[in-house]
């Protein structure tokens, strides 16, 4: 059974972020599974830190992007907004090229908060980063519509 309230295609999700941070970093959604959301990001000079490795901030951006979009897919967006409340990340492996793949799965899907576990792996499926994201689920005000 799917956890999603709506089921857009990965291409639609990618297009949504194309003019903002996800688009700038080359984040592409690739899969909407029954209880997970997956996206990729290239590891290039655009996502490197000065020493040529994947920047931790780029990993956190990927994790927050995938987890935030996942939360949005679980709620009635006419009534609620999903906003990041807390994120942490453990950077486990340096990587300098190729791409990374992030998979978000829920720990908790409540009425007021969602907590997501995001694993970021390299193309050989080695763990690069693990992250936990807490999203606040808040009611839209009439001026938000």
Known catalytic residues?
64
Spatial distance between the Cα atoms of 98 and 63, rounded to a whole number of angstroms: 17
**Beta-bridge mates of residue 117:** 105, 132
Burial class (CB in 10 A: 0-12, 13-18, 19+), 86: exposed
Distances 48 to 8, 72, 85, 99 between C-alpha atoms, Å: 30, 29, 26, 12
Q: Residue for token digits 């927050």?
A: 64
């Amino acid at each position: 059974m799917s956890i999603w309230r709506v089921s857009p295609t990965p291409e639609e999700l990618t297009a949504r972020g194309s003019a903002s941070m996800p688009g700038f970093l080359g984040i592409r959604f690739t899969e909407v599974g029954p209880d997970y959301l997956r996206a990729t990001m290239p590891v290039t000079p655009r996502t490197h830190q000065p020493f040529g490795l994947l920047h931790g901030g780029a990993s956190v951006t990927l994790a927050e992007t995938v987890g935030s979009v996942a939360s949005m897919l679980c709620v009635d967006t006419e009534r609620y907004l999903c906003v990041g409340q807390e994120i942490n990340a453990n950077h486990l492996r340096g990587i300098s090229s190729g791409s990374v793949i992030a998979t978000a799965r829920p720990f908790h899907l409540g009425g007021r908060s969602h907590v997501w576990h995001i694993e970021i792996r390299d193309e050989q499926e080695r763990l690069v980063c693990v992250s936990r994201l807490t999203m606040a689920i808040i009611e839209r005000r009439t001026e938000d519509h």
